[in-house]
Chain A
Amino acid sequence: MKDIIFTIETNKKIAKNTYEMVLLGDCADIKCGQFVNLKIEGFYLRRPISVCNVEGDRLTLIYKVVGQGTEVMAKMEKGEEILTLTGLGNGYDISKSGDKPLLVGGGAGVPPMYQLCRELVKMGKAPSVILGFNSKDEVFYENEFKALGANVIVATADGSYGVKGFVTDAFQMVDYTYFYTCGPEPMLKAVYNKSVTSGQFSFEERMGCGFGACMGCSCKTKYGNKRICKDGPVLEKEEIIW
């Protein structure tokens, strides 16, 4: 864990209520599937956001405007600084992926799938990616995933783009050895029930600290109590209690 001042390089809207922020700073500590915790001026607690991508000293985050903090973030401009705790959480275990991993991202859960996909491709794996959104105007990063060489399927709940339905409705279109998923809890539950292999789930919880000190984010697992921020956010299918 490090607390680092990042400088905004770009901050732009990429879909409905959805922004991509590229930050410049020391990314040495950051692992795939981890998150960072941003100190936004005017707010007492920090805002946890998943790592979408890291290349050199460039950290990419994608966030949805859902409340006051993210609203302020959306108005921030190039050159502004953000104090950021990095290296938080366990991240994905990519060694378990098998040859044909499936990546399932829903809405604000899509971003962490990007770096994961990049790393799996680099390892010579052939990932399939299912991205779920409510409707066409919310879709983002389809082309970015395709550019990595992944097999990409987009599903929209209202059918305005790609497959009509939920991410799980696209499961029969792919053949997979293992899966990774991040998204709203009802989606995670559906993936849990529909999936036929083992896999890893990325969870969210309201956080006090984000680095394991306050016990604010605990959850029960088959292997005992875990803190989403420190022992998670990634949990394995086998340990989840639903």
Chain B
Amino acid sequence: MVSLKTNLCGIELDNPLIPASGTFGFGYEFAEIYDINMLGSFSFKGTTKDAGFGNPTPRIAECKNGLINSVGLQNPGVHKVLENELPKLKACFHKPVMANVSGFSVEDYVYTVKMLDSEPQIGWFEVNVSCPNVHGGGMSFGTSPEAAAEVTRAVKAVTNKPVIVKLSPNVTDIVAIAKACEEAGADGISLINTLLGMRIDLKSKKPVIANKMGGFSGPAIKPVAVRMVYQVYEAVKIPIVGGGGVESAEDVIEMMLAGASAVQVGAANLVDPMACPKIIEDLPRVMEKYGIKDLKDIIGGAH
């Protein structure tokens, strides 16, 4: 018997799998096809103070081994999330959920976290300081250690739940930003969000994405993610949620060896809605293959 259990900021997870924000809605689309309670947890769609449509379409572009999205932060706003989405989520998911929040100002983050804080099902806040899609939005916070720390501190002041800061990879020194968040009180670090990317259509000779650029994710970005998780693990003491290009049990193990306590799966859910159940089913076999009895034992094992 192998053990898939892991722990994230004091909350026990049955397994390390956490579908990543923006690729899993509020869970119920997936609940139509499998029992999502088999997951470790999931991170729901990035929620903001006010409702937003996001960016103009087309906002999806295919790439080799990945996709670019410029969805932006389309969500119904925190009030509608509380009123409509969370009740539906509760009906199909009975474990602590990760609340992914974003904002256009420090006050926005604080407002959204305050509104959601009383929801008992929310286990962690995942504060997205990295969304590269919104002009003058998330980007600015995630690219400077001071701004990332400021958001962290402000959010920590209004909740007792663990605060995990989700970082952008579009920076020169990821370690400096992770450390700044840790010093500001973050309980965990999540990385990586999408890499800024672009595709040009040869027929129209124009960018495929209406907003020209967007966030690149999928298997193509995994080496970048593994490298950043590895670097941040060396520099901080708080747990890391690793993600970026994960689509197999092997990828999960690699991410944990780099230093992740839990692992996010994003784009893979979009191209194969059964991606996460398949990985969970496959993990024991792959663990045995590599002589791993307890997943907790391999966290940071590559260091």
CB–CB A213/B23 < 8 A: yes
Question: Nearest Cβ in chain B — how far from A71, in angstroms?
Answer: 14
Docked pose: A218 CA to B62 CA in angstroms: 17
Question: Nearest Cβ in chain A — how far from B62, in angstroms?
Answer: 5
Within 8 A of A (CB), among B1-58: 22-25, 29-30, 32-33, 45, 53-54, 57-58
Selected from A44, A211, A218, the residue in CB contact (under 8 A) with B273 is A211
Within 8 A of A (CB), among B40-81: 45, 53-54, 57-67, 69, 71, 74
Selected from A2, A214, A220, the residue in CB contact (under 8 A) with B23 is A214
On whether A213 and B53 interact (CB within 8 A), knowing A44-B271, A45-B67, the answer reads no
Question: Nearest Cβ in chain A — how far from B63, in angstroms?
Answer: 7
Question: Nearest Cβ in chain A — how far from B135, in angstroms?
Answer: 18
CB–CB B274/A218 < 8 A: no
Question: Nearest Cβ in chain B — how far from A36, in angstroms?
Answer: 14
CB–CB B57/A217 < 8 A: yes
Question: Nearest Cβ in chain A — how far from B201, in angstroms?
Answer: 9
With a cutoff of 8 Å between Cβ atoms, the chain A residues found around residue B272 in the complex are 3
Docked pose: A205 CA to B210 CA in angstroms: 12
With a cutoff of 8 Å between Cβ atoms, the chain A residues found around residue B273 in the complex are 1, 3, 85, 209, 211, 213
Question: Nearest Cβ in chain A — how far from B138, in angstroms?
Answer: 16
With a cutoff of 8 Å between Cβ atoms, the chain A residues found around residue B60 in the complex are 45, 206-208, 214, 216-217
Selected from B66, B71, B208, the residue in CB contact (under 8 A) with A44 is B66
Main secondary structure of the interface of B (DSSP, over half): loop
CB–CB A45/B271 < 8 A: yes
Question: Nearest Cβ in chain B — how far from A47, in angstroms?
Answer: 10
Q: Flag whether A212 is at the interface (Cβ < 8 A).
A: yes
With a cutoff of 8 Å between Cβ atoms, the chain A residues found around residue B29 in the complex are 211-213, 230
Q: Flag whether B170 is at the interface (Cβ < 8 A).
A: no
With a cutoff of 8 Å between Cβ atoms, the chain A residues found around residue B59 in the complex are 206, 216
Q: Flag whether A46 is at the interface (Cβ < 8 A).
A: yes
CB–CB B23/A45 < 8 A: no
Q: Mark B267-302, 1 if CB is under 8 A from A, else 0.
A: 101111110000000000000000000000000000
Docked pose: A196 CA to B34 CA in angstroms: 45
With a cutoff of 8 Å between Cβ atoms, the chain A residues found around residue B32 in the complex are 1
On whether A215 and B66 interact (CB within 8 A), knowing A3-B274, A205-B58, A230-B29, the answer reads no
Within 8 A of B (CB), among A191-226: 205-209, 211-220, 225
Q: Which residue of A lies closest to B64 (CB)?
A: A44
Q: Mark A8-42, 1 if CB is under 8 A from B, else 0.
A: 00000000000000000000000000000001000
Main secondary structure of the interface of A (DSSP, over half): loop
Docked pose: A211 CA to B271 CA in angstroms: 10
CB–CB B58/A213 < 8 A: no
Q: Flag whether B185 is at the interface (Cβ < 8 A).
A: no
CB–CB B53/A206 < 8 A: no
With a cutoff of 8 Å between Cβ atoms, the chain A residues found around residue B33 in the complex are 1-3
On whether A213 and B218 interact (CB within 8 A), knowing A1-B33, A44-B64, the answer reads no
Q: Which residue of A lies closest to B51 (CB)?
A: A225
Docked pose: A44 CA to B22 CA in angstroms: 18
Question: Nearest Cβ in chain B — how far from A41, in angstroms?
Answer: 13
In this complex, the member of B62, B267, B273, B274 whose beta carbon has the largest number of chain A beta carbons within 10 angstroms is B62
Docked pose: A208 CA to B67 CA in angstroms: 8
Question: How many residues on chain A are close to B (CB under 8 Å)?
Answer: 26
Docked pose: A28 CA to B268 CA in angstroms: 26
With a cutoff of 8 Å between Cβ atoms, the chain B residues found around residue A1 in the complex are 32-33, 273
On whether A43 and B62 interact (CB within 8 A), knowing A213-B30, A215-B74, the answer reads yes
CB–CB B57/A214 < 8 A: no
Q: Which residue of A lies closest to B71 (CB)?
A: A215
With a cutoff of 8 Å between Cβ atoms, the chain B residues found around residue A217 in the complex are 57, 60
Within 8 A of A (CB), among B59-117: 59-67, 69, 71, 74
Docked pose: A3 CA to B54 CA in angstroms: 29
Docked pose: A39 CA to B273 CA in angstroms: 12
Q: Which residue of B lies closest to A69 (CB)?
A: B62
With a cutoff of 8 Å between Cβ atoms, the chain B residues found around residue A211 in the complex are 29, 273
Selected from B22, B53, B61, the residue in CB contact (under 8 A) with A214 is B22
Question: Nearest Cβ in chain A — how far from B75, in angstroms?
Answer: 8
CB–CB B57/A218 < 8 A: yes
With a cutoff of 8 Å between Cβ atoms, the chain B residues found around residue A44 in the complex are 62-67, 218, 271
B residues lining the A interface (CB < 8 Å): 22-25, 29-30, 32-33, 45, 53-54, 57-67, 69, 71, 74, 208, 218, 267, 269-274
A residues lining the B interface (CB < 8 Å): 1-3, 39, 43-46, 85, 205-209, 211-220, 225, 230
- List 26 A–B pairs whose Cβ atoms lie within 8 Å, in order of A's numbering: A1-B33, A44-B62, A44-B65, A44-B66, A85-B273, A205-B58, A206-B58, A206-B59, A206-B60, A206-B208, A208-B67, A208-B267, A209-B23, A209-B270, A209-B271, A211-B29, A212-B29, A213-B30, A213-B273, A214-B69, A215-B25, A215-B45, A215-B74, A217-B57, A218-B71, A220-B53
Across the A-B interface, the 4 shortest Cβ-Cβ residue pairs? A209-B270, A216-B60, A206-B58, A206-B60
